[in-house]
Amino acid sequence: MTVDESNAGRVDLIVRELSDSSRSQVRGMVEQGCLSINGSICSSIARTVVVGDVVTICFDMHQRYKEKKKRWEDRTFRVVFEDDDLIVVDKSAGTLTVPTDKNERNTLVERVSVYLSHSRGNRDASVVHRLDQAVSGLLVFGKHERIAEKLIEQFKHRKPLRVYAAIVDGLMDEDDGTFRSHLATGKNLDRYVARPSSETELAITHFHVLKRLADTTLVEVTLETGKRNQIRIQFADAGHPILADPRYKRKQAMHRRWIRDRIALHAKTLRFEHPKSGELMTFESPLPSAMEKFVAGDAAAVRASQRYSKKNTRPR
């Protein structure tokens, strides 16, 4: 059809007229490359045409052209994997996993439940484990209570593998080590290392130094137990608080080059047995850009310092 004054405007109206199709069918045709304007493929249904433009549509009258499923976008999480039983997500830093007694809105469990209600019918996400609000990384939710209960049982028996990446203040002396301490909870809900008692919880954390930088250390942290705040508490207690931690050794955790409004801690690996099939499933999440950029910048500073040191130690 050559556009004249009577039909100039939105191209989707012309496509509906030419193909005698519904709006959703027209959107599907456009997404699948059936529409051309003046000989060039048009991918926008909202495109406007003017007098003299030639609109061409090439399609099979017996075929249904479905719209492509739109990718779900949410600031609080990214879907890593899902099936009929569970969903694994990559949580954004700054997002509460579940609401507190203040009944916060837009928590992770709420947003994942919204996603499930749109994609899989009326379902709620069932919480299995949590990450601190300031921490990013991998979490698994059950799509049914019984699936969540089986996953929770795995966590109780310390079966899942949970590995974190962290940037801590100072240069750690040992390449590998284990923190084994008892944690108590104060009246203000802050946690701290205490002597063993009936009111404390044993926390075990293994660490491996990945890279020593100018005045910080990039470490890989593996949880043996999963107590609240245990990584943050134990590294702070050892004199190496995690960068930007607002609660544990806050002043020492401040760093001139860390300008992000988040803590330098990320849950990067999660491995567990699928509660139905028994398959061992492993998921990885890349280092967040804030941590990646900091490590790259600090490494560059170390190299520059080494070059300067060599230059000034040469014999004259």
Q: What is the pLDDT of residues 78-100, one digit of tens each?
A: 999 999 999 999 999 999 999 98
Cα–Cα distance for residue pair 108/133, rounded to 1 Å: 10
| Contact of 134 with 164, CB cutoff 8 Å | no
Number of domains in the chain: 2
Q: Quick one: pLDDT at residue 105?
A: 84
CATH number where 272 lies = 3.30.2350.10
pLDDT at 253 over 80: yes
81/23 same-domain check: no
Q: What is the pLDDT of residue 60?
A: 87
Are 84 and 117 members of one domain? yes
Give the C-alpha separation, 219 to 69, whole Å: 39
3 state DSSP class of 107: coil
In sequence order, what DSSP letters do the residues of 36-83 get, joined into one string?
EETTEE---TT-EE-TT-BEEE---TTS--PPPPPPP--SSEEEEEE-
Domain match, 101 and 224 both: yes
CA angle 157, 160, 166 (to 5 degrees): 120
Do residue 285 and residue 186 come from a single domain? yes
Rounded to whole angstroms, the Cα distance separating 241 from 293 reads 19
Report yes or no on 43 lying in a domain: yes
Mean pLDDT of 20-33: 84
Query: Whole-angstrom Cα distance, residue 269 to residue 185?
Result: 28
The one-letter amino acid code at 304 reads A
Q: Which of 113-122, 172-181, 244-253, 255-264 has the lowest mean pLDDT?
A: 113-122
Round to whole Å and give the CA distance between 27 and 19: 12
Does the pLDDT value for residue 223 go beyond 80? yes
- Residue 203: what pLDDT? 96
229 occurs within a structural domain: yes
CA angle 106, 293, 171 (to 5 degrees): 105
Q: What pLDDT, on the 0 to 100 scale, is given for residue 139?
A: 97
Question: By residue range, what is the domain housing residue 279?
Answer: 77-301
pLDDT higher than threshold 60 for residue 273: yes
* pLDDT tops 60 at residue 312: no
Asked whether the predicted pLDDT for residue 298 surpasses 80, the reply is: no
For residue 310, pLDDT over 60 is answered with: no
Which of 163, 172, 137, 175 is closest to 290 using CA atoms? Answer: 137
Enter the tokens of residue 305: 């310092």
Tokens read off for 179: 């923190």
Q: What is the CATH number of the domain that holds 14?
A: 3.10.290.10
> What average pLDDT does range 21-48 have in this prediction?
85
CB contact set of 42 (below 8 Å; sequence gap of 6+): 11, 30, 35, 36
Query: Looking at the structure, do residues 101 and 21 belong to the same domain, yes or no?
Result: no
283 vs 46: which has the higher pLDDT:
283
Burial-class residue 95 by CB neighbours within 10 Å (0-12, 13-18, 19+).
buried
Percentage of the chain with pLDDT > 70?
Answer: 91
State the pLDDT at residue 38.
93
- Looking at the whole model, is its pTM more than 0.85? no
Q: Please write the tens of the pLDDT for every residue from 166-195.
A: 999 999 999 999 999 999 998 888 899 999
pLDDT of residue 5: 86
If DSSP codes are grouped into helix, strand and coil, which group holds residue 33?
coil
Task: Assess if residue 67 is contained within a domain.
Answer: no
Between 17-31, 218-232, 299-313, the lowest mean confidence (pLDDT) is in 299-313
3-class SS of residue 272: strand
Residue 307 lies in a domain: no
Under the banding of pLDDT at 50, 70 and 90, the label for residue 66 is confident
In the prediction, which pLDDT does 271 show? Answer: 97
- Say what the pLDDT of residue 125 is: 93
313 lies in some domain: no
Beta strands 265-273 and 136-142 are: parallel
Together in a domain, 125 and 231? yes
Q: Residue 290: exposed, middle, or buried by beta-carbon count in 10 A (0-12, 13-18, 19+)?
A: buried
Within a domain: 310: no
Q: Please give the Cα distance from 226 to 131 (Å, whole number).
A: 10
Q: Token pair for residue 94?
A: 């700054």
Same domain, 114 and 253: yes
Mean pLDDT across the chain: 89
More confident call, 31 vs 292? 292
